[in-house]
Structure 1
Amino acid sequence: MTDMGDYATEEQILKAGSMIDRVVKHMIEQKLPPIAVASALLGGALNVLSASLPDDAILRILHNAIDSVESGELRDIDQPRQ
């Protein structure tokens, strides 16, 4: 496994997020279907995780994602707070 460090700074996370936002915008502008964009992003994310984390850690991340979908928490992210 590649040693990519255990933690990222908030600045690094914001920079990476900004870069991903630009790539996603470009893919949508190229009229790629959202499912293709999302599938490519998920596949890429899993590749990065597999290079830096053991399988059990990746499974915990995926289980947390499943829990967020099942609880409705994921949809709440896009909903305005009142």
Structure 2
Amino acid sequence: MQLDPQGVAPDDLSHAGSVVDKAIEYMIEQKIAPISVASALLGGALGLLARTMDDQAIGAVLRNALASVESGELREMRDQLPGGNAPV
């Protein structure tokens, strides 16, 4: 596994993201509520982190995610979706 030039993301991150996107698409097609999809994915991600990282590293990942929310980065992503910032 090779890291990106900034030393943050593994080179297979794009592939993993595509697989997750397909899983989300499938669950939405199955009429699973978006909050249930997101909760299941978050729970799975936290479980994987717990099995592969120490608490300090998990905290850093979560702080980075929170910083994305607080900076408006996720809002910008939502605003670029068809329909603007309407909730799913």
Q: Secondary structure at 1:32's aligned position in 2?
A: coil
Cross-structure match for 2:69: 69
After TM superposition, the score normalised by the length of structure 1 is 0.77
Residue correspondences, number: 74
Distance 1:48 1:6, change over 3 A: farther
Cross-structure match for 1:35: 35
- Which one has a larger percent helix, Structure 1 or Structure 2? 1
Q: Deviations over 1:34-70 (max 9, x none)?
A: 0000000111111111111110111111112112212
After TM superposition, the score normalised by the length of structure 2 is 0.73
Cross-structure match for 1:44: 44
CA offset at residue 6 of structure 1?
8.1
Q: Secondary structure at 2:14's aligned position in 1?
A: helix
Give 5+ residue unaligned stretches, structure 2: 4-9, 81-88
Give 5+ residue unaligned stretches, structure 1: none
Cross-structure match for 2:85: none
Distance 1:52 1:62, change over 3 A: same
